[in-house]
Amino acid sequence: MKIAILSGKGGTGKTTLSVNLFSCLKQGTLIDTDTEEPNSHIFIKPTNEVITNIYKNHPVVNKDLCSFCGKCGEYCNFNAIIPTKTKVLVFEDFCHDCGLCEMVCPNNAITYKTKVIGEVFSSHLENKSFHYGKLKIGEVSGVRVINKLNEISKEDGLVLVDCPPGVSCSTVEALRGSDYAIVCAEPTPFGVSDMTMVVELLREENIEFGVVVNKSGIGNNQIYEYLEEENIELLENIPWTKERAALYSTGNLIADKDPIFNEKMEHILQKVLGDNYDQ
Amino acid sequence: MDTKHTRIAICADSENPKDDVASRFARCEFYGVYNHKSLSFNFEENKAKNEMSGAGAKAAKQIYDLGVTAVLVPEIGPKAFEALEAFEIEVYRYSQTYSVRDAIYDYYEKKLQRVLASTKTGKHA
């Protein structure tokens, strides 16, 4: 069973929720797919990590063989290769590594060059596994890194996914194959606005979901009205307290030190996993 | 009068030379092409304007295909500039909002500055 934790807006508590729910499990896997800014590991504190490189290819044009026929540019869907009057320009960032330009080149002037775009860090402790991905600075898309995280965890029984914020390609990739989604939202106008995009995405992908309102007590009641109007299940309501913020800011698991918070985590797991939740 | 370039392109949001110049290069609606020999304007729809990525370089290709050798722009990103340079298209910059026709006049009066490097940071840089 794969459960995605996502939010739309950043900073609502996806990681807080992910790592604390994970800490309540006896067995399972957590993957942090926020490859631009992963931070679950700050709380999990993994040891003996195994690092796997993630690669991407992009075309390189051999000037001596190129006849400037322009085919590569005509076929590229992403404007990643633009034949000009004087040379063939390659924009690595735009390339999706599809291989089409190499195929259509009549002069075999195009070859592919490989580069490392990110890394996956894997660790195991007793019956639990934790993997997170990190995109290299300057790279534009974490999709390949997330794809690797999905691949290495696909055989695992229970997988929690700490998703990236927003509803971009990265989030869609992180959601892939999820059986259920927990939307972690904050009761502010921005929180509600960004959550509606996530709700739209989940409905489109046909993924069942419920909402955890984190940091309740701040903002306003708009979020509760929205949930009622849209007939969305409120899984849990977690009040904001200074103590919780302090624990988080020092890299601690709140569930370890705050019994009420811990109870809320268990309550969420019971609701989501039902009989599958082994306390 | 500078007669080096027969066709000069300019960024526009409508098909009328009396209307204002556009404020973006790769995502403007039209390219106005002024033909120095026939003294006439032709407007071509910008095919790159809705591209998810790489609009600048694609726009440069379209401008080249129109037979243009100089382009007047409001600003230019690094990838678009690299492409225009590779197509050997000269880039000139206007820095006010006025009509397409007035910008062309300014070009002929040598009031527009030649751009020799990109004027803004790219979205993906």
- pLDDT, one tens digit for every residue, chain B (125 residues): 556 899 999 999 999 999 999 999 999 999 999 999 999 999 999 999 998 888 999 999 999 999 999 999 999 999 999 999 999 999 999 999 999 999 999 999 999 999 998 777 765 54
B63 has a chain A CB within 8 A of its CB:
no
Q: How far is A149 from chain B (nearest CA, A)?
A: 25
**Is 3.30.70.20 the CATH number for A63-108?**
yes
Mutation pick from B27, B84, B124 vs chain A, by most beta carbons of A within 10 Å, is B124
Q: Are the folds of A2-53+125-274 and A63-108 the same?
A: no
- Residues 4-43 on B with a CB inside 8 Å of A are none
Closest CA to A63 of A111, A131, A12, A99: A111
| Domain range A2-53+125-274, CATH class | alpha beta
Q: According to the 3-state scheme, what is the secondary structure of A61-76?
A: ECCCCCCCCCHHHHHC
Q: How many CA atoms does the CB half-sphere of A96 hold within 13 Å? A: 12
**ipTM of the complex, rounded to two decimals:** 0.77
All structural domains of chain A with their residue ranges = 2-53+125-274, 63-108
The single-letter code of the amino acid at B2 is: D
All structural domains of chain B with their residue ranges = 7-114
pLDDT of residue A86: 85
CATH number for the domain whose boundaries are B7-114: 3.30.420.130
- Is residue A31 within 8 A of residue A153, CB to CB? The reply is yes
* Structure tokens belonging to residue B21: 């110049």
How many angstroms separate the Cα of A137 from the Cα of each of A11, A141, B120? Answer: 21, 11, 20
B78 has a chain A CB within 8 A of its CB:
no
Which stretch of DSSP H or E encloses residue A144?
helix A143-153
The whole-model pTM stands at 0.80
